[in-house]
Structure 1
């Protein structure tokens, strides 16, 4: 270990030492992994540096992000949400692996609810639903036999005029791709830019050690999905795609729930009239389901379904 690495490790150790005695769990949804902590009294204050230290895979617990379970009434964003959704008792306070705040995480929602159940904070039998708060609004989750299904809410194009006119709104460059590729930017409460590739070999050759370059980039940055449609695209009424993703503030992850939804939105848009409403999205960590349906306010919603697993629990030394 050189001097720079040694100093960084000492700094990380100092950040986590201040949290000695903190109880935590580690969970994942199709490989998208999280450190989870319960804060029923709203007393836990986590700095970006402490979050990054906990999510560090070498000297911390390790995770793509950190989720704090806190009552909505004890968080400013939660109090605002409760006026319209008084049933959203719990708020998913989500941070990226670098400590920055994030609006939403589709895989994280499933793991968050599974954590609430495991901690005895909620009771949710199979077939019943729960409403939680997020920075992207209230989300309704149904417990299923195979995991959880989340109403992710309505989707929208980030640059609607460009998307409608040309079915693309930006160009994306990445290491391993010879030329910049056209892309479509979709909001699922957080921003995504979707690139379609022709074959699996291109997907495997794309290097995501560094962030892809997006031009123009959405105002708050973006997650970038590289997607290969199956051949044939539709089988037995369902579309199938394979995806890799580079997440803001994290890097490449094994899965991204909102990214899977955005990828299905883009491919379905490009496929045109007659494209299915049900999709299977293959990610390095497994498979998630995406389904489109008409929401109560008349806008099209997206449902994300998949497993959630708690793999360990412990206490910081």
Structure 2
């Protein structure tokens, strides 16, 4: 069983479906409202646990109405919450999402996610030291992302940096990552490049090995030598939400089997995730992944 530590965000997504977006100052009636557990850290932790890993999450929740159900949901998935703090006087992270006509408007309030500190990562050092892989994203303070990269590097553990939401980062931070896992748009932002620069060129000049996600086309990876393509798995897509988080989780879970195998399994897991609604709702189990891989052998 692979051991994975995820350092990242936990959100409650508040989703309203409406016939159209209201104009400024206007009130309209919506069609439906749902609450969905999310946040890139929580999503990746859940996906890794369903794929059979022993998973610990480092993060923070508020002591509001959303904190308890978010914690309970993660616990049901088997995620260790020893290093998830509940912060008095803080709200849990939320994403208020309005969906209309196939488009969406989103307002994210980080809440407790903005209080995940380098000191909290240091307190989780024993868990990181046991990990086979460490996952971190960028929905928490950048100083905490840096602390995770530096601690993982010091411990000799592979840190996978999923640079989303993307912004330029210092090159010395990026060099600490064992793998960067952007899509093409995120890689261009990360390297402060022009949007039209060829992604293979960007991969070659990145300061750390890159595993680049390409949606239905699969992924490209470079771990020394030239970039290599891994084809995607053809499926009927229903909802692509959470596909990237599933990909990253699977990469971490199977990294000990070697990069080519891990990328192939990550592409397969991501493909399965888009066949059902919701980010966490679509994330596959280890059995479902094995069935797809066997059918494609």
Band of TM-score, shorter chain: under 0.3
Of structures 1 and 2, the one with the larger relative CO (CA 8 A, separation 6+) is: 1
In proportion to residue count, which structure has more strand? 1
Q: Give the TM-score of the pair, scaled to structure 1.
A: 0.23
TM-score (norm. length: structure 2)? 0.25
Q: Could you say which structure has the larger radius of gyration?
A: 1
